[in-house]
Amino acid sequence: MFKLNRAIDLYETIHEESARFIEREIDYDATPRRIGTNECDILTWKKGVEDDPRIGVLVGEFVHDVRSGLDQLIYALVVANEYDPGEHTQYPIYDNEPGWVKDVVARDPCRKPSPVHGLNDIQLDFIRERQPYCLTKKRRARHPLMKLLRMSNVDKHQTLHTSAVQAHAPSSVVYEPPGFIAITKKTWESPTTIVEAHVKIGQVQRRIIKRPPPDTKIKLRIRGIAEMVFSEEGKSPIASVNDLGLIIECAREILYGLWPGASIRDLPSLSPD
Inter-residue contact 264 to 5 (CB < 8 Å): yes
Asked whether residue 205 carries a pLDDT value surpassing 50, the answer given is: yes
Asked whether residue 272 carries a pLDDT value surpassing 50, the answer given is: no
CA angle 233, 44, 18 (to 5 degrees): 45
Q: What is the mean pLDDT of the chain?
A: 91
Alpha helices in the chain (DSSP H): 2-25, 53-80, 97-100, 121-129, 137-140, 144-157, 241-258
- Which of 230, 244, 260 shows the shortest CA–CA distance to 66? 244
pLDDT tens for each residue of 214-241: 889 899 999 999 999 999 888 899 999 9
Given this model, what pLDDT does residue 155 score?
Answer: 84
Q: How many CB atoms lie within 10 A of CB 126?
A: 15
Single pTM value for the model: 0.87
Pairing relation of β-strands 38-45 and 200-208?
Answer: antiparallel
Given this model, what pLDDT does residue 261 score?
Answer: 82
- Which of 266, 238, 202, 256 shows the shortest CA–CA distance to 35? 202
- d(CA 239, CA 160) in angstroms, rounded, equals 14
Which of 106-110, 147-151, 264-268 is least confident?
264-268
pLDDT tens for each residue of 166-187: 999 999 999 999 999 999 999 9
- d(CA 244, CA 163) in angstroms, rounded, equals 13
Percentage, residues of the chain above pLDDT 70: 96
Q: What is the mean pLDDT of residues 116-143?
A: 96
Given this model, what pLDDT does residue 177 score?
Answer: 93
Q: How many CB atoms lie within 10 A of CB 67?
A: 25
CA angle 98, 104, 108 (to 5 degrees): 90
pLDDT tens for each residue of 12-50: 999 999 999 999 889 999 999 887 777 899 999 998 888
